[in-house]
Each structure stands twice: as structure tokens, then as C-alpha cells.
A and B are shown apart, each in its own frame.
Chain A
């Protein structure tokens, strides 16, 4: 019995040392990771709606969105938020910027793990740029009678991005109208 206690103790000491070292390294790397993530998000926001001040808001459903205002004239420039939906083999997250009339200013896919060479092409500028200027009614892929030209061989990814954009724009629009009535 004593022998087994000794074994357990040795194992415990190893685990404790390992956890201590990991905790120390975590304190070094965690801020770097968090800071880079925040900076990347901010850069994406700024590229979608340039020269704006962003204010974070949360809808009733818990969706986070940002209101963009012109810092000089205090004029509403639009909104940015992240739309997400399940695509072909992963959850695709797209950050989108819309103007006050809810027409798309631009989109950028921020997270995806779709098929390389097919669905993963959704990050290419040629696919993303076509969304600019579209209104909610245009946001269907061509196969569903809309304006969005699907990526070749990746209709599911294209449809997932398009639908997630449309639904989240509607969510923010609803929220905005409730806010307007108050």
C-alpha cells in the first residue's frame, strides 16, 4: 500500500511541475493571442467601414454587432457584425459591413475550414467583392434565384455564406427598428 502511495506521489509531483510550467507559459502567450485576435477583428472592421468609430451593442438574441459612426460629424455610417452558419465541413464565419440602408458594403470570411481548392476559395477577393452593393433581396445564390455567383464546385459553401449574411442582416435590421421606435 505504501509503495502505491509513493507511486501516486511521484506522478503527482510530475503533474504539478508540468502544470506550473504550463501556467507560466500561458501567462506569456495568452495576452499575445488575445491582443492579436482583437487587433485582427478591428482591422477587418476598419477595412469594411473605413474611418469610423465603432460602438459595441448586443441584440436581444445575444448577437454582438457594432454601430459605425463618423467621428467628425456624428453621422451613422453603418453596422458590422459576424454571420455564421454550418457550411460543407465546418462553421463558416463571415464579417460583414452594411450601410444604414442595410446594403452590403463588404464582406470578409474570418474563419472557415472548408475543402481546400473548392469551398476554401470563399476567402478569395473575387468571391467576396461581388457582395458589395447587394440588398437583402439579392442575397440568394444564383441557383436559388439570387444575385450571388456560387463558387464552382462549392454551392453549399456559397449558399451557407449567403444565407447566414441574409439572416444576420435581418436580425440587426429588426433590432435597429425596435431601437428606432423607442
Chain B
């Protein structure tokens, strides 16, 4: 299987088979918090894809050229989270200065991303992830792509959820079910349907 095949496997795995939200339980706070409206879900999704891709790339460099050579593995958590926090701040400043229109649509979501566990999660998972042959460790490009596809996977389910919840607003529900409880049950049914993808051997 060539490298393109490898990329295809990685994309399918990150988006459907091992979806970050529904089977790994990462990034649930924004998944339930920002899925009330479709356009804010889209903004959040784009911001997450952007930050996850960048964070995967930078944490890969930090891990392989700083932490591993000097055997500082125990500083991984603290180094990664500081990198992500700094990255988010930096991205926010750059976008604010150079693309005010983009900042208007993404800006409010950026600070929330620091505490989105999906971003730290993908960075940590990348350090131990293996390619589909089960032996090769991720290289720089693999990590970057995995970050990107994981972000896409997050956005796909976030958008689906937002679409469903907008419909749900019109449904008549028992009062105690309204809001978070029904959203969680909906997420459960969605997770169930994603189980159909699991275990596919590509």
C-alpha cells in the first residue's frame, strides 16, 4: 500500500472508525456546548481543525527534537499544554491583525480551544500512534495529517449534532428532558450509529 493509501486509512480512521468525539470521548465540552446553532458550530469546527493541525505539527517537533533527545519525557504534559496555549494566543493575535473578517467569525472560539481536550489529546496520541502496519511510528507529515483529519472528524459530528439539535428545538419534550439530557441521549444514538464503522479493516 502506497502512502496515499496510508493517508486514506488515516482519514477514515480519524473521521469514522475512531471518531474523536463519539468513540474516544475527546472534545465533549464544545461538542455539547457549541452545537446549538449551525453557524457557530461551523466556526468552532474550522477553528479546531486549524489549531489541531498546527498543534500536531509543533508538538511533534518539540517531542522529537527536544523532549526525547534530552530524555525529558516527564515534561511532556506541561510542555504540550503550554505550547498549545501559546499557539492559540499567537493565532488569535495574527488573525486579529491580518484578517479581521475571519477574526470576527472565529475569534470568540479561539480562547475556548486551549481547554479543548481534543487538541491536547491528539498531540499526546500522536506520540505513540502507529501506522496501519502496526510497527512504523508517525513521522512529521503523519502527525500533521492526523491532526487535520481528527479535526475534520470533530467538525463532522459537531455539524451533524447542530443540525439535529436545531430540529429538536421544535419537538415537544417532557420538561426535565429539555436541553442537556436530550442532547446527551441524541449523542448516544449518534455514537451507536458510528459503532457501525468500528472494526472495519481497511
Contact = CB atoms under 8 A, between A and B. Distances in A.
Query: CB–CB under 8 A between A and B in the complex?
Result: yes
Interface of A: 15, 18-19, 22-23, 26, 30, 84-86, 88-89, 91, 156
A22 B198 contact: no
Contacts of B75: 19, 22
Contact of A85 (B23, B134, B198, B199): B134
Nearest to A156: B199
Given A19-B75, A19-B78, A84-B135, 6 more contacts: A26-B74, A85-B134, A86-B132, A89-B198, A91-B134, A156-B201
Determine chain B's interface SS by DSSP, over half rule.
loop
Interface of B: 18, 23, 74-75, 78, 82, 130, 132, 134-135, 198-199, 201
B135 to A, nearest CB: 8
A18 B75 CA distance: 9
Contacts of B74: 22-23, 26, 30
A139 to B, nearest CB: 18
Contacts of A86: 130, 132, 134
Determine chain A's interface SS by DSSP, over half rule.
helix
A88 B198 contact: yes
18 contacts: A15-B78, A15-B82, A19-B75, A19-B78, A22-B74, A22-B75, A22-B78, A26-B74, A30-B74, A84-B134, A85-B134, A86-B132, A88-B198, A88-B199, A89-B23, A89-B198, A89-B199, A156-B199
A91 B132 CA distance: 10
Contacts of B198: 88-89
B193 to A, nearest CB: 17
B78 A89 contact: no
Nearest to B73: A26
A89 B18 contact: yes
Contacts of B78: 15, 18-19, 22
A48 B132 CA distance: 29
A23 B135 CA distance: 30
Contacts of B23: 89
Contacts of B132: 86
A177 to B, nearest CB: 23
B33 to A, nearest CB: 27
A86 B199 CA distance: 11
B90 to A, nearest CB: 14
Given A22-B74, A22-B78, A91 B201 contact: no
A18 B78 CA distance: 9
A107 to B, nearest CB: 18
Contacts of A23: 74
Contacts of B201: 156
